[in-house]
Chain A
């Protein structure tokens, strides 16, 4: 199958692309010697659904004014984004093998608009993404443009007060063109989110802040497509929040829900096992 699709994918095509995305991310981590495996693998389906089906973007025209925007609030999961951008044709495949290799390479730990065509916003400090998204969505309304702004956040990230400032603001401005997605994998640096700073009941909080909320399995591609479908004709005027229940490290048996894979180095032997598992899925 073509690895640089321009037509939206669905069904098997999307599933295959998610698999490719995981392999790409692992390839980048191998190149660097380490990475945020867990964080990348929990949002693979979300990114795949956005970049290969939902978002209106043009690789030949990364600054196309009417493009849908994407903000990777959880910047440390950058390789998942890089793979999608590469496979969509925004960046060349060779850059993958340079990931974090040396100073001056194009792909590093956090996304950077300066160096990476297709990246809308540089990220790294958690809690900024939604605020920036509010600004972009406001601009879209002011300019009478029809684009959507998608912001992917980590569940731990929603501890940050700045997220709630943005939440209140999005509701006040009636930003229907703003879609937030929370990669709810239940884990953060210091442990289970429930022990560190629990966010449940999550849906009730976002609803109280004036958002339309849906909750789904973040690895269920058809469900994601349905929830993320553009709603350009809606009149409710409410921003949308999709709470995606995910598994940190999903897709690789020895990484799933293991906290230390938030960020870790990988041995050659582990890499082989990972590749073998992912390739087995083709059958």
Chain B
């Protein structure tokens, strides 16, 4: 008798739940499609092509793929150089390495002159059990401070496809958080259409409104269904562009009376979506009953991802019980 081959890997953890519909490597495949009509697109990586779905692109366009070796500062410096020569580099690595190791190069070599580099990074927030060296818990806090930089945090496979296309049409540097491998497909059921710079009310609710981004929107949508069974009417405002923030849409929802607002993010409580929204709200004198769920300001544990998501309160179950406790 043989035991079934075990699949869980702390590193390559799939966000997908059992039986969830998924799409394989949506970023890589979309880039291949876009590259057919855009000869200026090139792919670059720092020895993480395989783990950022760029290997899909490099297999089809080997002469448009630049392997820069394990050297992130070089990666982004060279991406700046290529952009100056008229190309549109998609430069990939893990979110931790872009935000920490190569920050100065992204800030000065790319953003300062608004170069057309697309920084696409896997393992955003807490999406690996590898420990703090690989968990980009503060990437948004770091990148929000960069002027000229557009920041996108897509929810699922559909949004990754749409967002990748949208950022090629945007002239200027972009930082996009990436889910890779087998990525869940959820937003097709809501006829979702990504628009750069726009938050979208995916479902409305009279008791609670979740304000969420990235993969947390998958969770808030699930949570809304669970809450519905308990006669709690929950809505979801999906904020996939973190910078520039769609303040108009956000303030409109916060302004509506009588609802609990719960901001949920796959990021440190410090410096991410939550603080951005709350600051905007205060600046504009719009008060609401606002709560915030995110990762603690701590070096997170290593271990299995589902356990970690529970431990740090960002699993669907945690969202549901937390909301009930607040209501």
Which residues of chain B in 1-58 are interfacial with respect to chain A, using CB atoms and an 8 Å cutoff? Answer: 2-3, 5-12, 45, 47-51, 55
> In chain B, residues 242-291, which have Cβ atoms closer than 8 Å to a Cβ of chain A?
none
In the complex, whether B191 has a CB less than 8 A from a CB of chain A is no
Report whether B3 and A268 are in contact in the complex, using a CB–CB cutoff of 8 Å: yes
Stretch at the interface among A83-91, A108-116, A210-218, A245-253: A108-116
Contact with B along A21-37 (1 / 0, CB 8 A): 00000000000111000
Query: In the complex, which residues of chain A have a beta carbon less than 8 angstroms from the beta carbon of B130?
Result: 109-110, 124
Q: Which of B11, B45, B133 contacts A190 (CB 8 A)?
A: B45
Inter-subunit contact A34/B49 (CB<8 Å) = no
Q: What's the minimum C-beta distance from B37 to chain A, rounded to whole angstroms?
A: 27
Identify which of A96-104, A219-227, A234-242, A274-282 touches chain B: A96-104
A61 interface residue (CB < 8 Å to B): no
A250 to chain B, nearest CB (A): 22
A118 CB-CB contact with B under 8 Å: no
In the complex, whether A183 has a CB less than 8 A from a CB of chain B is no
How distant is B153 from chain A, measured CB to nearest CB, in Å? 23
Q: B133, A75: Cβ atoms under 8 Å?
A: yes
Q: How far is the CA of A75 from the CA of B133 in the complex (A)?
A: 10
Assembled-state Cα–Cα distance A42/B11 (Å): 21
Task: Give the interface centre of B67, B101, B129, B133 by most chain A CB atoms within 10 Å.
Answer: B133
B47 touches A265 (CB 8 A): no
Secondary structure class of chain B's binding surface, majority of residues? loop
Q: In the complex the two chains form, what is the Cα distance from A160 to B70 in whole Å?
A: 6
Please measure, in the bound complex, the distance between the C-alpha atom of A105 and the C-alpha atom of B130, giving whole angstroms: 13
Which of B67, B101, B304 is within 8 Å of A197, CB to CB?
B67
B81 within 8 A of A: no
Q: How far is the CB of B105 from chain A (nearest CB, A)?
A: 11
In the complex the two chains form, what is the Cα distance from A125 to B133 in whole Å? 5
What's the Cα separation between A160 and B49 when bound, in Å? 16
Nearest CB of chain A from residue B306's CB, rounded to whole Å: 10
By a CB distance below 8 angstroms, the chain B residues around A125 are 96-97, 101, 133-134
List the B residue with the shortest CB-CB distance to A162.
B101
| B3 and A124 form a contact (CB under 8 A) | no
CB neighbours (8 Å) of B322 from chain A are none
Q: Min CB distance, A9 to chain B, in Å? A: 32
Contacting pair A103 B307 (CB below 8 A):
yes
Q: Which residue of B lies closest to A157 (CB)?
A: B70
- For residue B302, which residues in chain A have a CB less than 8 angstroms away from its CB? 100, 103, 108-110, 112
Cα distance, A266 to B4, chains bound together (Å): 10
Query: Is A127 at the interface (CB under 8 A from chain B)?
Result: yes
Shortest distance from the beta carbon of B313 to any chain A beta carbon, whole Å = 14
Whether A195 contacts B67 by the Cβ 8 Å rule is yes
CB pair A197–B70 under 8 Å, yes or no, is yes
Chain B's nearest CB lies how many Å from the CB of A114?
Answer: 9
A123 — which chain B residues lie within 8 A by C-beta?
A: 133
Contact of B9 among A34, A112, A156 (CB under 8 A): A34
Asked if A10 CB lies within 8 Å of chain B CBs, one says no
Q: Is B131 an interface residue (CB 8 A)?
A: yes
B69 within 8 A of A: yes
The reply to whether A33 and B67 contact each other, CB–CB distance below 8 Å, is no
Q: Which of A124, A265, A269 contacts B131 (CB 8 A)?
A: A124
Smallest Cβ distance from A106 to chain B, in angstroms?
A: 11
7 contacts between A and B (CB under 8 A): A109-B10, A109-B130, A109-B302, A124-B133, A156-B69, A157-B70, A196-B47
Name 15 extra pairs, CB < 8 A, besides A190-B47, A197-B69.
A32-B10, A75-B133, A102-B304, A103-B302, A103-B307, A104-B301, A108-B303, A109-B11, A109-B302, A156-B70, A159-B47, A189-B49, A267-B3, A267-B5, A268-B3
Top-9 shortest CB links A-B: A197-B69, A124-B133, A33-B6, A103-B303, A108-B302, A159-B70, A159-B69, A125-B133, A268-B3
